[in-house]
């Protein structure tokens, strides 16, 4: 939603604490207008981001204190599946897993757990 105040259009809402440090931002990405929420720590570094992917799927990203992406979780609007990706502290890719149709797969599509199988 875009708010207009005396000719001013608000595209981003910034939340600050008593010391005027930015703690959270709610805005829309440039170009496609997808909304996102970003929570920041006391140093102003992003720690958590909630957003929508291009297809409308929700996405969550977690960051370390050094603003290095540590993990993400997303849902697919197409098939309802979920994906989890983890990174090491230095930002190197670590692990990915996908969840779809009652099972869990690794980054190669190999089933880790499949609830549809008989024990």
Domain boundaries, the chain: 3-114
Query: At residue 40, does pLDDT exceed 60?
Result: yes
Helix (H, G, I), strand (E, B) or coil at 82: strand
Fold of 3-114: Outer Surface Protein A; domain 3 (3.90.930)
- pTM exceeds cut of 0.75: no
DSSP string for residues in 7-72? TEEE-EEEEE-TT--EEEEEEE-TTT--EEEEEE-TTS-EEEEEEE-TTS-EEEEEE-TTS-EEEE
Q: Which is more confidently placed, 66 or 30?
A: 66
Helix (H, G, I), strand (E, B) or coil at 73: strand
pLDDT digits (tens, 9 = 90+) for 80-106: 666 777 666 665 555 566 655 555 555
- The neighbouring-strand residues paired with 93 are 87
**Percentage of the chain surpassing pLDDT 70?**
52
């Amino acid at each position: 939603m875009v708010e207009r105040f005396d000719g001013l259009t608000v595209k981003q809402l910034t939340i600050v604490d008593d010391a005027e440090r930015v703690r959270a931002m709610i805005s829309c990405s440039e170009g496609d207008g997808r909304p996102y929420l970003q929570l920041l720590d006391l140093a102003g570094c992003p720690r958590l981001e909630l957003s929508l992917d291009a297809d409308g799927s929700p996405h969550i990203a977690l960051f370390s204190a050094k603003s290095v992406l540590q993990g993400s979780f997303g849902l697919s609007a197409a098939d309802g599946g979920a994906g989890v990706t983890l990174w090491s502290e230095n930002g190197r890719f670590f692990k990915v897993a996908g969840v779809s149709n009652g099972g869990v797969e690794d980054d190669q599509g190999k089933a880790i757990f499949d609830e549809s199988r008989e024990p």
